[in-house]
Amino acid sequence: MPLRERINTGLKEAMREKDAIRLSTLRLINAAIKDQDINARAKGNADGVDDSEVLAILGKMVKQRQESARAYEEGGRLELAEKELNEIKVIEDFLPRQLSEEEVAKAVDEAVAEVGADSIRDMGKVMGLLKSRYTGQMDFGSVGPAVKARLG
């Protein structure tokens, strides 16, 4: 089932179950997807965004909420931090399973070998390959330094 369809099904279920947190989070997800659809159409892509781009949107939403939760915790606003963490749980229901550190290391090694990377100048090619295959499955903020260390 396509990701958009899963999100819309989840939205309908949340309405039926009167799950306010899940419902509001799924509405935010739909709004973010529609916003990117509009941008894609403006650039000439009549179909809007595909599943890989939806995964990137969801990943970005999780990262934003993690940063917000951290800021709220530091500011002593625990109820707002808890709200952000609850939204993360809902968003993660639609993301693929995160790869373990060993799986990430193996994926980096495979990408380096496939691209034929031998220096730091090839980092962009390696990261591009990883992003095309593993969007939503790994944190590219932490993968970047690992690729750099592997090529350096």
Distance of alpha carbon 49 from alpha carbon 47, whole angstroms: 7
Of 5-14, 20-29, 108-117, the range with the lowest mean pLDDT is 108-117
- Higher pLDDT among residues 75 and 152, named by residue: 75
3-92 CATH choice from 1.10.760.10, 1.10.1510.10, 1.10.1060.10, 3.30.450.20: 1.10.1510.10
Mean pLDDT for the chain?
Answer: 89
Please list, residue by residue across 122-151, b when 16 or more beta carbons sit within 10 angstroms of its beta carbon and e when fewer do: ebeebbebbbeebbbbbeeeebeebbeebb
pLDDT at 134 (0 to 100): 84
pLDDT at 51 (0 to 100): 84
CATH 1.10.10.410, the chain: domain bounds: 101-151
Over residues 58-111, the pLDDT tens digits come to 989 998 999 999 999 999 999 999 999 999 999 999 988 888 888 888 988 888
Domain 101-151, second-level architecture: Orthogonal Bundle (1.10)
pLDDT at 98 (0 to 100): 82
CATH 1.10.1510.10, the chain: domain bounds: 3-92
Q: Indicate the helix (H) or strand (E) that contains 84.
A: helix 78-92
Structure tokens, 125: 């090619």
Report which of 124, 114, 115, 112 is spatially closest to residue 150, judged by C-alpha positions.
Answer: 112
Whether 122 has a pLDDT exceeding 90, the answer reads no
Over residues 28-43, the pLDDT tens digits come to 999 999 999 999 888 8
